[in-house]
Amino acid sequence: MDKGLVIKNTGSWYLVKTDDGSCVECKIKGNFRLKGIRSTNPVAVGDRVKIIRNQEGTAFITEIEDRKNYIIRRSSNLSKQSHIIASNLDQCMLIVTVNYPETSTTFIDRFLASAEAYRVPVCLVFNKTDRYSEDENRYLDGLINLYTTIGYQCYKTSAINNEGINEIKQALAGKITLFSGNSGVGKSTLINSILPEQNLKTGDISNAHNKGMHTTTFSEMFPVDGGGYIIDTPGIKGFGTFDMEEEEVGHYFKEIFKFSAGCKYGNCTHRHEPGCAVREAVEKHYISESRYNSYLSILDDKEDGKYRSAF
Ligand code: GDP
Ligand code: ZN
């Protein structure tokens, strides 16, 4: 019996890195089922598992340790079935650009809120710093100031000039990190400058992924210096969907949640209720207008019935 970490899933077998450092190809034991989750793949990259090797040299995964979190994608054709993309994420890096292409604060805030709901810490990576004008740089500093104050670690990078890459590498060491971001922000270029030489180059990563997307459950974590892993998920925008009550939405905006302790009503939605400490904080500029608007936009979606697809 060995313990290890699932670092690759081809759909028919899994690659497990055991705690003594060897890599073992494993199958799932025939009667193996995961409790509680209706998933097309019972085992995902990031899972901590127990394996048993038999005399023929084949190995089987016999047990999965409880996951601290996981991200899923719902299958389009099989109702209520989901596909687990990865589990046990330590953090997520959201790559954004002020321009080229423009990333809206609404997009950032929705992403942050869904990550809060999944209890995955996020850091923001503002890429393409080499391209910004003076005005754009001022705006960037404003954003960094805003999100740092709320409690999100921010980084500035230029994947092309190799600026800020060492800081990113340090933040990745020893952790499982999901990379996210709109297409065009430089995610592949950034990953390329981070990954050690022995890893696949990003073109290969994307190709492998894209192929997998259409057919099987292919996913893989890429080792980085210092014992961590990167998970790249082309085409996956957020953390998947989940249901929640209106008054819960504010729990996922750190600073709104903090101020909501002072609201008169426990179930305050911070829109029109009297004695709302959150609205007062917005008026006094303790909470930024853009964050409050993002919060309201999620509530609006909920009213329109499109809430579940919003994340
Ligand atoms: P992805 O879709 O997020 O994976 O983006 P890519 O890595 O494919 O990059 C999109 C474009 O932005 C490419 O033309 C890159 O060369 C360019 N790019 C990526 N990072 C930077 C950067 O830091 N500065 C500049 N100026 N261009 C970048
Ligand atoms: Zn309130």
Residue with tokens 């954004």: 96
The tokens for 142 are 């404003």
| Ligand sitting nearest the alpha carbon of 281 | 2
Q: What average pLDDT does the segment 123-142 reach? A: 97
Confidence at residue 85, expressed as pLDDT on a 0 to 100 scale: 83
Range(s) for CATH 3.40.50.300 in the chain? 71-232
User: In the CATH hierarchy, which fold is given to the domain comprising 246-304?
Assistant: Ribonucleotide Reductase Protein R1; domain 1 (1.10.40)
Mean pLDDT over each residue of the chain, to the nearest integer: 85
Residue 220 confidence class, pLDDT cut points 50, 70, 90: confident
What's the pTM?
Answer: 0.87
Q: Is 128 in the pocket of ligand 1 (CB under 6 A)?
A: yes
- Which segment, 59-73, 75-89, 195-209, is predicted with the most confidence on average? 59-73
| Topology of the domain covering 71-232 | Rossmann fold (3.40.50)
From-to residues of CATH 1.10.40.50 in the chain: 246-304
How far, in Å, CA of 15 to CA of 191, rounded? 22
Interior/surface letters 167-202, b for 16+ CB within 10 angstroms, e for the rest: ebbebbeebbbbbbbbeebbbbbbbbbbbeeebeeb
For ligand 1, whether the C-beta of 184 sits within 6 Å is yes
As given in the structure block, the two tokens for residue 75 are 């299958």
Least confident stretch, 36-50, 101-115, 202-216 = 202-216
The yes-or-no verdict on residue 228 having pLDDT over 70 is yes
Name the CATH architecture for the domain at 2-65: Beta Barrel (2.40)
Assess whether pLDDT exceeds 60 at residue 143: yes
DSSP assigned state of 96 = E
**pLDDT: which is higher, 85 or 74:** 85
What are residue 265's phi and psi, to 5 degrees?
A: -105, 135
* C-beta of 127 in contact with ligand 1 (< 6 A): yes
